[in-house]
Structure 1
Amino acid sequence: MRKIIWLSLWVVLIVLSACQPMNPPPVENPAVSSPSATPVEQELLASLEAVERVESTPTPQPAEAKHQPIVLTDALGRTVTFEELPKRVVVAGRGVALLTDAVYLFPESFERVVAVSRTSQSPDGDFLALVDQRLPEKIAFETNVGAEQVVTARPNVVLLKPYMQEPLGNPLEALGIPVVYLSMETPQEYQRDLQTLGILFGNSQRADEVWAFYQQHLDTVSNALKDLTDEQKPRVLLLYYSDRDGQVAFNVAPKTWLQTILTGLAGGIPVWTDIELGSGWTKVNLEQIAGWDADRIFIIAYTANPQQVVENLLQDPQWQALRAVQEGHLYAFPRDYYSWDQPDPRWILGLRYLAYRLHPEAFPNFDLTAEARLFFERFYGLDARTFEEKILPVFKGDFR
């Protein structure tokens, strides 16, 4: 290019010199400072020098971006590092339904979740299939899936509950598959593990938005009940009803479980914490239930209709003898596809319901259906029509 510019310049100079008076012969390498150069020649030479300087100056290269690995701490306190955001996410093992509902709070999950262990508490269908239209295209595992099966999904990461470490997590890591454990069993763990998911999906803003929603409702309940004395708090009994293998049983939760925590947050006193409780549900008999003499009794049912269970109990003479029943305070804990008492994203709805039922005077304008509609729209993008057609019809329990 420089040769062409020089040639063009000399042509221009020759033409110009033909129009000028005779001057001494031009110097070999004319410069702008040459006294023999005309103003026009000097301007052209200056332009040429500017071009030469541009061509000779190295083009600045953008600084190479420093690669930042993705580092997070999971529910077991382990540091897990990824070189890039995982593109193939698997959610597997027991407790997976509640965990997957939390994973799908993040929009990125629709593309990145490639396999899920399938389970459901509802005879009305699969909630996840309602949320993710592409679910039929994704790999379906059983809850007792083994590591050799999970590997077939070619995961970049597998999300598990902490109690799945021995049966599934360790074998996966032995095969070189990263594992991240998420507990999400209490409000504090929910806040922490939402941040972990935000890092994993590269969307910490979404984690902050979701938790802000929870915090707002926690604050609403707390502020409304902050002046209550212990004497003003009803004595509450939450009972999980099961009829596995045809054997009816009533169970109470450990002190550290969400059911107990929600009772306290909602302004109630959990009466069942005065007995020796195990690490899981503890079976109790009717004599123990009567001995507690709770002011309010709530029936939880995961695979049955809680409202139907309550109606059956109201016909039982032994239950009719309970003071809570006589005073009209036997309730069916609300549910849709999943019950609202457990560590599923719906637990915030369970808290709002329980606080209202224990202290209706503190929440005079409370509308449980409206709360649920907002929840499913904001968290899962289900519009009003979908809510009316797919969610509302499967509501069961106390929605008065």
Structure 2
Amino acid sequence: MNKIEKSAVCLLVLFVCFLSACHNKAGKEGAGNTRILTDMAGRKVEIPQNIRSVFIDRHSVQMFYAFDTAMTVNRVFNYNESEKKFLKKSFYENKPYVIEGASEEIVRLKPDVVIYSQELTKTNIETVNALQAKINIPVILLDMDINKYKETLAFMGKVLHQPEKANELIGFIKTYIDSIPAKARTIPEKEKKRIYYAEGMKGLKTDPSGSVHSLLIDLVGAKNVATVDLLPGKGMTNVSMEQIYVWNPDIVLVWSGNFDGLDSYKFIKSSPVWAQLKAVKQNLLYQVPWRPFGWIDRPPGINRLIGYIWLSHLLYPDVYKVDMLAVTKEFFRKFYHYDMSDAEALSIINPQPLLN
């Protein structure tokens, strides 16, 4: 073999080695592009190392928004102008309205991952597994239990590589929420406020104790007077005015939906039939704050944290001593990325319209 042939062979060998090295490097990089995550239901899920787009369900909206305001590919609520004021445009503008379960739409939107926040029941886990198999996109399941939000936030910080933000949000819970259950247990039985949670256009729908929709009433040490069937899903059991007379609550909390008109509150306040109820006579009728999300419910997500504080302070101000103005501003800054004025905070905390 002459010198030229030897040189050619050497070059060929070097080229093959170079290709092999490139292939091995690419393989290693490919392996590092994903990671195996154990979600809150104990499911092993392979997700991208760095998530850039997410599909959310109705219970995970505020949880995800607290970490990122632009990464979502869908919206699950239609926001009115007074709600949009407190939300980043990147969260809702040019995002299609697509809710959980719409598998074809999820595939079309091509998110890196799907995030569901649900009760960790066998049925819900099976549903999520079936969805993941159908859409071939990783689905992460979060625990929607309000008592486990610190764990959920820590988990989300891990998923999104944002441990500092997670610690900030967890710190808020430790400061303002963790002490509430212990204080609730100190309220004597005879001093527990009896609450009727009025839903529907005329206030003749409600949710009983044990419902996720009225959960905060139980947690702050009050009594839910409604003894009705517990409906699954969206709840709202029909009741009669006669039943409400018999229950004779100390306080009526009103959920008017996420509507600026507050029609339910106005109806109850001006109704001669409701006027016979002791709580209405004594002006112990309160519209639940709702901007930008319901404070007690609708949806039953992390938005309830500020409602947890608001309701405990409203019912038992001597037990739960807190500066609602300052706490509301802090919550909006940390969870909603919004710096609000005192006037804005007061308007949200006390949404009762002035009626003649």
Q: Please give the secondary structure, in 2, of the residue aligned with 1:219.
A: coil
Q: Please give the secondary structure, in 1, of the residue aligned with 2:96.
A: strand
> For residue 237 of structure 1, what is the aligned residue in structure 2?
196
> For residue 180 of structure 1, what is the aligned residue in structure 2?
140
CA shift digits 1:28-81 (9 cap, x unpaired): xxxxxxxxxxxxxxxxxxxxxxxxxxxxxxxxxxxx99969341223x442323
Aligned residue among 48, 51, 64 for 1:103: 64
The Cα of 1:312 is off from its aligned counterpart by 2.9
CA shift digits 1:220-246 (9 cap, x unpaired): 434555532111111111122x23xxx
> For residue 317 of structure 1, what is the aligned residue in structure 2?
272
> For residue 222 of structure 2, what is the aligned residue in structure 1?
268
The Cα of 1:177 is off from its aligned counterpart by 0.9
Q: Please give the secondary structure, in 2, of the residue aligned with 1:287.
A: helix
Aligned residue among 95, 99, 111 for 1:155: 111
> For residue 349 of structure 1, what is the aligned residue in structure 2?
306
Question: Counterparts in 2 of 1:31-50, with a 5 A limit?
Answer: none
Aligned residue among 240, 248, 254 for 1:293: 248
CA shift digits 1:286-331 (9 cap, x unpaired): 1111111111111112133475533432322211111212222121
Q: For 1:134 and 1:354, how far apart are their aligned partners in 2?
A: 28
Contact 1:121–1:302 (CA under 8 A) maintained in structure 2: no
> For residue 22 of structure 2, what is the aligned residue in structure 1?
none
Q: What amino acid sits opposite 2:65 in the alignment?
A: Y
Q: For 1:359 and 1:325, how far apart are their aligned partners in 2?
A: 19
Q: Percent identity?
A: 21
Quick check: 1:379 aligned with 2:335?
yes
Q: What amino acid sits opposite 2:318 in the alignment?
A: E
Q: For 2:147 and 2:155, how far apart are their aligned partners in 1?
A: 13
Pairwise CA RMSD: 3.5
Q: Unaligned stretches of 5+ in structure 2?
A: 1-27
The Cα of 1:156 is off from its aligned counterpart by 1.7
Quick check: 1:253 aligned with 2:219?
no
Relative to structure 1, the CA distance from residue 101 to residue 300 in structure 2 (aligned partners, 3 Å threshold; closer, same or farther) is: same
The Cα of 1:159 is off from its aligned counterpart by 1.5
Q: For 1:257 and 1:208, how far apart are their aligned partners in 2?
A: 29
Relative to structure 1, the CA distance from residue 229 to residue 164 in structure 2 (aligned partners, 3 Å threshold; closer, same or farther) is: closer
Q: What amino acid sits opposite 1:156 in the alignment?
A: D
The Cα of 1:102 is off from its aligned counterpart by 1.3
Q: For 2:85 and 2:124, how far apart are their aligned partners in 1?
A: 23
Q: Please give the secondary structure, in 2, of the residue aligned with 1:317.
A: coil
> For residue 13 of structure 2, what is the aligned residue in structure 1?
none
Q: For 2:64 and 2:291, how far apart are their aligned partners in 1?
A: 19
The Cα of 1:363 is off from its aligned counterpart by 4.5
> For residue 80 of structure 1, what is the aligned residue in structure 2?
45
Which shifted more, 144-153 or 337-346? Answer: 144-153
Question: Counterparts in 2 of 1:107-146, with a 5 A limit?
Answer: 109-110=68-69, 113-120=71-78, 122=80, 124-126=82-84, 130-133=87-90, 135-136=92-93, 139-143=95-99, 146=102
Quick check: 1:212 aligned with 2:171?
yes
CA shift digits 1:105-125 (9 cap, x unpaired): 11xx346x2401341354535
Q: Please give the secondary structure, in 1, of the residue aligned with 2:255.
A: strand
Q: Please give the secondary structure, in 1, of the residue aligned with 2:82.
A: coil
> For residue 333 of structure 1, what is the aligned residue in structure 2?
288
Contact 2:75–2:98 (CA under 8 A) maintained in structure 1: yes
Residues paired across the two proteins, number: 317
Relative to structure 1, the CA distance from residue 398 to residue 345 in structure 2 (aligned partners, 3 Å threshold; closer, same or farther) is: farther
Q: For 1:189 and 1:220, how far apart are their aligned partners in 2?
A: 14
> TM-score under structure 2 normalisation?
0.75
Relative to structure 1, the CA distance from residue 359 to residue 79 in structure 2 (aligned partners, 3 Å threshold; closer, same or farther) is: same
> TM-score under structure 1 normalisation?
0.67
> For residue 325 of structure 2, what is the aligned residue in structure 1?
369
CA shift digits 1:126-167 (9 cap, x unpaired): 367x3254753x542433773233223332211234488888
Q: For 1:367 and 1:110, how far apart are their aligned partners in 2?
A: 28
